[in-house]
């Protein structure tokens, strides 16, 4: 239990021809005398037929030519996003972070800055282009702050962690996602997801990421105890840009068992 606290790990032939020769017949001869009547008949010689068979063997050489199919590799390079207007001269930049927000392994730059009364979140993509949105409802006293990015569900793209407000003992962390060439807030129940991260003597709250889930954890000091807290872990799954809450788990922990309040890769509290 308590993944977020210090006590839980997260492929031919030839033919023959015949020739026939026929000899001419010999002439018939008749001879007679007075003394006797004798007729001598000469029988013509028999016709002799000579047949000569000549066999010719024809040799055929067969040549087989195998042609390998040609292979054509086409590489499609995605078009770069449009470039948002540059950060105005005189704007107040609160933080910049090197991240991979779109999963192309080219480093992107995440920036939070103030223009007039509006705090902005901006990402300049390594492949070209940029996205820029106003972060709503940020207190002018606390301001927005880029904390970094972490791939919550393990799909290769990083979700953006942004401080959107702060109280006496905790900051409020909002989450954003890249959507095409834009930035959209990650939501829970139809509203932007915002989580407290911080601690006081009487309570604590934080966030933990394990590569497939986002966990929140919090605890409240048990009255009369010596540093013992009633604690609760709650897991969230991310699909698209929506977080869905899972079943939590509770335990009693000591102050020594409370781990870091934000453990999501390189995301830090600034």
Q: How many CA atoms lie within 13 A of 205 on its CB side?
A: 12
**DSSP string of 77-115?**
PPPPPPPPPPPPTT-EEEEEEEE-SSSSSS-EEEEEEEE
The whole-angstrom separation of Cα 207 and Cα 187 is 16
Cβ–Cβ under 8 Å, residues 158 and 100: yes
What integer pLDDT is reported at residue 31 of this predicted model? Answer: 36
Sequence-ordered strand ranges (E) for 107-223: 108-115, 118-124, 130-135, 145-150, 159-166, 170-179, 182-185, 187-188, 191-192, 194-199, 203-209, 214-221
Q: What is the pLDDT of residue 236?
A: 97
CA–CA separation, 198 vs 216, rounded Å?
A: 12
Ordered by start, the domain boundaries in the chain are 92-263
- The structure tokens listed for 180 are 């095409």
> Rounded distance, CA 267 to CA 212, Å?
16
Q: Cα separation of 28 and 80, whole Å? A: 113
State the pLDDT at residue 79. 66
Instruction: Name the DSSP class of 255.
Output: G
Report the distance separating Cα 4 and Cα 68, nearest Å. 58
Give the model confidence (pLDDT) of 8-46 as tens digits. Answer: 333 334 443 333 333 333 333 333 333 333 333 444 444
**Cα 133 to chain centroid, rounded:** 27
The residue assigned the tokens 């996602």 is: 177
Chain-centre distance of CA 251, in angstroms?
Answer: 39
256 SS3 class: helix
CA angle, residues 263, 267, 270, in degrees to nearest 5: 115
118 close to 87: Cβ distance less than 8 angstroms: no
What residues in the chain have per-residue pLDDT under 50?
1-2, 4-67, 73-77
| Three-state DSSP class for residue 183 | strand
b/e string for 27-47 if b means 16 or more Cβ within 10 A? Answer: eeeeeeeeeeeeeeeeeeeee
d(CA 244, CA 186): 11
Per-residue pLDDT at 63: 45
Which two three-digit tokens encode residue 14?
């030839």
Pairing relationship of beta strands 130-135 and 118-124 according to DSSP bridges: antiparallel
Alpha carbon distance 80, 155 (integer Å): 21
Question: Are 197 and 170 spatial neighbours (Cβ–Cβ below 8 Å)?
Answer: yes
Q: Cβ-count burial of 71 within 10 angstroms (0-12 exposed, 13-18 middle, 19+ buried)?
A: exposed
pLDDT of residue 195: 97
pLDDT at 55: 37
What integer pLDDT is reported at residue 270 of this predicted model?
A: 77
What pLDDT score was predicted for residue 116? Answer: 93
């Amino acid at each position: 239990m308590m993944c977020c606290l210090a006590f839980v790990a997260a492929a031919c032939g030839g033919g023959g021809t015949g020739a026939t020769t026929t000899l001419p017949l010999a002439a018939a001869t008749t001879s007679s005398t007075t003394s006797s009547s004798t007729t001598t008949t000469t029988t013509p010689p028999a016709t002799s037929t000579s047949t000569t068979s000549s066999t010719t063997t024809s040799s055929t050489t067969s040549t087989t030519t195998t042609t390998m199919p040609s292979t054509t590799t086409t590489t499609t390079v995605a078009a770069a996003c449009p470039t948002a207007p540059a950060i105005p001269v005189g704007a107040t930049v609160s933080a910049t972070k090197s991240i991979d927000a779109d999963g192309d392994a080219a480093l992107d730059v995440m920036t939070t800055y103030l223009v007039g009364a509006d705090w902005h979140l901006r990402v300049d993509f390594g492949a070209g282009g940029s996205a820029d949105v106003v972060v709503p409802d940020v207190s002018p006293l606390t301001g927005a702050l880029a904390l970094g990015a972490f791939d919550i569900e393990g799909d290769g793209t990083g979700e953006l962690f942004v401080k959107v407000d702060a109280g006496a003992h905790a900051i409020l962390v909002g989450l954003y996602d890249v959507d095409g060439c834009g930035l959209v807030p990650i939501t829970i129940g139809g509203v932007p997801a915002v989580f407290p991260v911080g601690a006081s003597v009487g309570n604590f709250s934080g966030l933990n990421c394990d590569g497939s889930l986002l966990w929140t954890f919090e605890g409240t000091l048990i009255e009369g105890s010596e540093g013992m807290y009633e604690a609760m872990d709650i897991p969230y799954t991310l699909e698209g840009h929506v977080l869905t809450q899972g079943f939590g788990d509770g335990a009693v922990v000591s102050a020594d068992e409370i781990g870091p309040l934000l453990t999501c890769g390189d995301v830090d509290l600034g």
